[in-house]
Structure 1
């Protein structure tokens, strides 16, 4: 049986869609007030690129803006995300805590590897008390390359993982699993894409299915 599982956060454990639109709308309203933006909020564009590191997000959403404006947007967006998490506007996906409890009973170590920033991840972990199951949470901020494979590699090296899996919803998660000799498990949830899920070894539509997948490994 798999001894360690590394989970993505957004679109895998946490229903980011519940706070994404309002936080992004707040950010672009802020940019409009500062006269840095004069059109609609690019919600759909963000959904298309969901899962990439935030610096790349702002390059895509604000391609004609200066580095200073992108950094301003990044900081404000993070503030709004954290505030919305603390105000209870987000949620874990159904059955996450139930499955985490099951995994701990099976002596399976749990880690989080996310493209989210440290303060954002800490807000989620704290709000939903994930530390009772999760050994350690890792942010892409900890890796100079901003590469998910390198981030997962850091966890594998630190904890000596030889028999493990990565659970996520985007191609970067599945590639990170492959690059580190781990099993790739796809979550077919809010931000998943069919062509990317095809790269996973297993795909689940509901978190409870992870129990059955674990039985096969």
Structure 2
């Protein structure tokens, strides 16, 4: 198989920031109605940890709540996110569709995300990503919740021996390193420079990825 390209979803392909606040606000409004939360919705705290596995999200946002309440909160949040997606309130980043279309002509494309399956499917269906994406992998299938293991699963199931991981957080960069892949960090909404320091390449626009991949292959970056 040719060199594959594995993309993160949130903050890489999809502008989660557009739906994050209303979905989180709806979730915590329900918690307030249930008498399970007082005060403002911790939106800024969530922005700081965006991209981590969902159990960590709710441990961070609701440290004093029981595991049961955290699980119920996550269910409410997922439903709110999907409602936002299907209502058209989110968006892909600029040039994502055009770039994926171009790349898919020469490379197999995959998504490996810390998002849950139903959430990822809602985005894929709303924006018809399966025209270009060969497989969408959710962290749901990895008991450890480890992104590196998720990427390893993509490689194993599709007989991939070399390729790229494109993402905005340290877990994406680490997943590339752990699987001997080339990392491309994107400087979008949730990215932090400290997390992208170890990336092989970084981009400010999605349509810069084409040239990065071409350059890496032409200079034998895998050797």
Partner of residue 163, structure 1 = 162
SS at structure 1 position matched to 2:166: strand
CA distance in 2, matches of 1:6, 1:61: 29
Deviation of the 1:212 alpha carbon: 1.2
SS of aligned partner of 1:156: helix
Partner residue, 2:37: 37
Q: Which residue of 2 aligns with 1:97?
A: 97
Any idea what the Cα deviations from partners look like across 1:21-41, whole Å, max 9, x if unmatched? 010000000000000001111
SS at match of 1:167: strand
For residue 206 of structure 2, give the secondary structure of its aligned residue in structure 1: coil
Return structure 1 stretches of 4+ with deviation > 6 angstroms.
Answer: none
Partner residue in 2 for 1:178:
177
Deviation at 1:172, TM superposition (A): 0.2
Q: Indicate the residue corresponding to 2:204 in structure 1.
A: 205
Q: What is the TM-score with the length of structure 1 in the denominator?
A: 0.98
CA offset at residue 154 of structure 1?
0.3
Distance 2:150 2:185 in 1: 18
**Structure 1 unaligned residues grouped into runs of 5+:** none
Q: Do the aligned partners of 2:104 and 2:133 also contact (CA within 8 Å) in 1?
A: no
How many Å separate the matches in 2 of 1:178 and 1:32?
42
Contact between 2:139 and 2:146, CA under 8 Å: does it hold in 1?
yes
Partner SS for 2:89: coil
> In the TM superposition, what are the counterparts of 1:7-156 in structure 2 within 5 Å?
7-105=7-105, 107-156=106-155
TM superposition shift of 1:68: 1.3
Partner SS for 1:209: helix
Match of 1:192 in 2: 191
Gaps of 5+ in 2: 217-223
CA distance in 2, matches of 1:101, 1:72: 38
- The offset of 1:162, in angstroms, is 1.4
User: Is the CA contact 2:110–2:135 (under 8 Å) kept in the aligned structure 1?
Assistant: yes
What is the TM-score when the length of structure 2 is the normalising length? 0.95
CA–CA distance in 1 between the matches of 2:130 and 2:104?
A: 12
* In structure 2, distance between residues paired with 1:3 and 1:178: 16
